[in-house]
Amino acid sequence: MTAETGQSSGSKPSDDAWAKLVPLDTRFSDIEIRCNDMVICSEIKPSSLGRHEWCRITKNLGPDSATLHNKSSDAILVDEAIIPKDGVVDIVSGSEIVPGPGGQGYLMYRFTVMPAPESRTQLLKISIDPDNAKCSICLNVWHDVVTAAPCLHNFCNGCFSEWMRRSEAKHQHVLCPQCRTTVQFVGRNHFLQNIQEDVLKADTTLRRPAEDIAVLDSSASIQSNLIIGSKRKRRLSTLTPPPEERDSLRLQCPQCVATIGGYQCERHGAHLQCHLCRGMVPFRTNLQVPLHCMGCDRPFCGAYWSSVNVTHSESTPVCSRETFRPISERTVTRIPFTTHEMNRHEQDITQRCVAEMGKTVQEVAAEWFRRFNDREIDRSRMPLNHAEMITASTHVCNDCYDKLVGFLLYWFRITLPRDHLPADAAAREDCWYGNACRTQHHNEEHARKRNHVCRPTRGNHHL
C-alpha cells in the first residue's frame, strides 16, 4: 500500500486534526483528519496510475467515535469484520482498518481520536459547613460516601450497606434512613468523596479512629451503581409503546422470571446493571462468584451467569464468560492499544524486542505476571484499582486485562539492557518526563525521536 491522502468533502478544514489514521508500519506517515467529513484516497496497489477513494470518515456527535463509509470497489476490514462495498460502520478510537478484503498487500491502520486542546481551568473555592457533610446514620463526616435516589441523601457506604441488609430482611422496600422515601437506586459519589477529603484536611479533629474506619470498610458492599427492586423499564430509542403496554416491558434478570440454580430473585431484590451488556444481575453478598472487576470496580455479569449455565437470548442480555474471567485463564495475541501511553513507536520497538528474543507477547506477559504475582514488581503506579489484591485468580474485564499487560510490558522494556534494543531505538535520548510525557500524544516527531519507556528525570513523577 502506498502513501494515503485525504480530501475534504463539504466541511471546512480546521487548523488542528481531530483524528488520524495511524499505519501500524512505522515507515509510513499518519493520515491526519482535519474535516468533520473527509474522503480518504490512496493508490490501492503500487502499480496503480491514479488515486482511488477507499473510505469516507464522518465525525459523530459523541466523543471518540466516527462513521466509516466504504467507498472502494471491494470489501474492507474494520476490527476484523468484513464491510462490503458502500457499507457503513461506526468506528472508535483504537479501531483497526484494512483498506482491502484481506491482509496481503495492504497496510493496516489504527483510527485514533486526538485529545481535545487543554483548556484553562480556574480554582473555585467553596465554603461548606461540616454538618452538611455528615452521615445521618452514624452522625460523622461521610466515609466512602454513597448517594440514594430519588431523594439524593448521602451516607457512609458501610452505614448504608448495613441499613440495606437489615431493611431487605424485614421489609418489602429499602427506605431512606433520613426521609423514609423508597430507595430505587444507590451508588458511590466520587464528587462528594472529594469534598469529604477536603473537610477532613481542613479539620483533622473530625477524623475517625482507624479501627472505626476498618469496621465501616468491612461492612461496605456498594462498589458500583445498585438498582433496588427488580423492575426496570427498557429504554426504547425508536418508538414509545402505548401506556397500557409500557408496564409489560421490564428489563428483568433471568432469576426474576424463574428459579435457576436453586435461586429466584425476591420481588424487590437489589440488582446490578452489567457495564457491558446493560443486562440485570442479582446483587447477592457472600457469593463465591465475583460480580465486580477488581481493576475498575465496574459490574459484569459474565462469570455469574456462566456459573448457573444461563446464555444470551433476545429477551435476556447476558455476557459471555470470555468478557470477565480470571487473569490465569486469559491470553494476549498482540500488544494492547493502551500500552506505552498509546505511543505506537514504543509499541513497535517492544514488538521487535519480543520477536528478537524468539518469544510471543503472551510468553513475555506470562513471565512478567509470574514476577508480579511473586511481588517482585512495584505496584504503586499500576493503572488498576486494588493493585495490592490482584493475583492470578482475580477476575478482570477485557479493558483492565489490557492495562495489566501494558503495565507488565513497561517493566519488560525498562529492565532490558540498552544493547538489547534495536540500534535505532538504543541511539535515542531519554525523554525528561519518561512515560508521563504529554508531548508524545500530540507531537509525532517527539514521540519518535525520544525514548519514553524510562523513568522521569524532571517533574514530580516517580516510578
- Statement to judge: residues 291 and 180 lie in one domain: no
Q: Do 372 and 342 contact (CB within 8 A), yes or no?
A: no
Residue 254 CB partners (closer than 8 Å, separation 6+): 260, 305, 310, 316, 318
Question: Is there a single domain that holds both residue 355 and residue 446?
Answer: yes
Domain ranges, residue 269:
224-234+250-319
Q: Does some domain include residue 98?
A: yes
Q: Are residues 88 and 179 in the same domain?
A: no
Domain membership flag for residue 241? no
Q: Which residues contact 187 (CB under 8 A, 6 or more apart)?
A: 146, 147, 149, 222, 224, 225, 226
Mean pLDDT for back-to-back runs of 10 residues, the chain (463 residues): 46 72 83 88 54 85 84 87 89 87 76 70 67 91 92 93 84 85 88 89 89 90 78 36 39 82 82 87 85 92 91 80 92 93 94 94 95 90 91 94 95 92 92 89 90 78 43
Kindly state whether residues 335 and 433 are assigned to the same domain: yes
Quote the cell numbers at residue 382: 499500576
Q: What is the pLDDT of residue 36?
A: 87
Output the pLDDT for position 102: 67
Which CATH number belongs to the domain containing residue 8 in this structure? 2.60.200.20
Pairing mode, strands 429-430 and 450-451: parallel
Query: What's the pLDDT at 143?
Result: 93
Q: What is the pLDDT of residue 456?
A: 85
| Cβ-based burial of 178 (10 A; exposed 0-12, middle 13-18, buried ≥19) | middle
Give the pLDDT of residue 141.
93
At 137, which CATH number? 3.30.40.10
Are 14 and 98 in the same domain?
A: yes
Single-letter residue type at 288:
Q
91 and 9 within one domain: yes
Last residue of a domain, one of 319, 351, 372: 319
Q: Is residue 462 part of a domain?
A: no
* 211, 274: one domain: no
**Cell numbers found for residue 400:** 483492565
CATH of the domain at 254: 3.30.40
Q: According to the model, what pLDDT value does residue 228 have?
A: 80
Task: Give, for 454, the enclosing helix (H) or strand (E).
Answer: none
